[in-house]
Chain A
Amino acid sequence: QKEVEQNSGPLSVPEGAIASLNCTYSDRGSQSFFWYRQYSGKSPELIMSIYSNGDKEDGRFTAQLNKASQYVSLLIRDSQPSDSATYLCAVNTGGSQGNLIFGKGTKLSVKP
C-alpha cells in the first residue's frame, strides 16, 4: 500500500516566522512531488512541484526533496495570516499518468 504521511498539526507560527512542513512517502519509485494548499471548503491549489533532489525556491516558498530518505518538505518564509490553511503533500503513484496519492495534510495557523 503506497502511503504519504504528514503530521496533521495544527502547526501554529507567529506572523513573520518560518513555517516548516514535512512529508514522508513509502514508494521509492515516486518521481514527482507536489505541495498543495487547501483552504477550508475549497479545492487544492498547487503551490510547488519538485522532481529532483535538493531545494527549489519560488518566492516565499522552498520545497526540499531527499529521495534517499523519502522525505519532502515545504518551508514558508515570512509567514502571513493568509497562509493559514491545510497544506497537502502529494506524490505520484507510479501509475501510467502519474496519479497522485495525497497525505492527510498539515493544518497551519499563522497568528498575527
Chain B
Amino acid sequence: EPEVTQTPSHQVTQMGQEVILRCVPISNHLYFYWYRQILGQKVEFLVSFYNNEISEKSEIFDDQFSVERPDGSNFTLKIRSTKLEDSAMYFCASSGQEWTEAFFGQGTRLTVV
C-alpha cells in the first residue's frame, strides 16, 4: 500500500542550527502538507503546497520556515534557526485531490537542545 515516508525519524539539534526534514509523498499525489504536534497538544497545520508553490500557510509558518520540492519525489521542510519551542513531531501529509483525504507520514521527532 502506498505510504508517505519521512526521514529522519528523530533529529536532535542545537538551538540556532538549521534542520531539514524530508518527506516522500505518495507518488501520484499532488497536494502536500506539513503539520506539527507539540507533545500533549493537538496537531497544527503549518503549510500546504501545490504546483511548486505554497498554497497557504499558518501563523506558525514564519520566516524561519521554508518548504521546497527539489525533485519529483521529495518534499522538504527547512527550519533556519531552530528554537527550543520548535521541539515537536513534524508530520508530512499528501492527498490526491484538494479537500479529500490526507495521508500522514510516520513523523520526525525534532528535539532542540
Contact = CB atoms under 8 A, between A and B. Distances in A.
Interface of A: 31-32, 34, 36, 42-46, 49, 88, 90, 92-93, 95-105
Interface of B: 31, 33, 35, 41-45, 48, 50, 55-56, 89, 91, 95, 98-107
- Name the prevailing secondary structure of the A interface residues: loop
B48 A97 contact: yes
Contacts of A36: 104
Given A31-B99, A32-B99, A100 B45 contact: yes
A42 B43 CA distance: 12
A92 B48 CA distance: 12
30 contacts: A34-B101, A36-B104, A42-B106, A43-B104, A44-B43, A44-B91, A45-B104, A49-B101, A88-B42, A90-B43, A92-B99, A95-B55, A95-B56, A97-B31, A97-B33, A97-B48, A97-B56, A97-B98, A97-B99, A99-B33, A99-B45, A99-B48, A99-B56, A100-B43, A100-B45, A100-B102, A101-B45, A102-B42, A103-B42, A105-B42
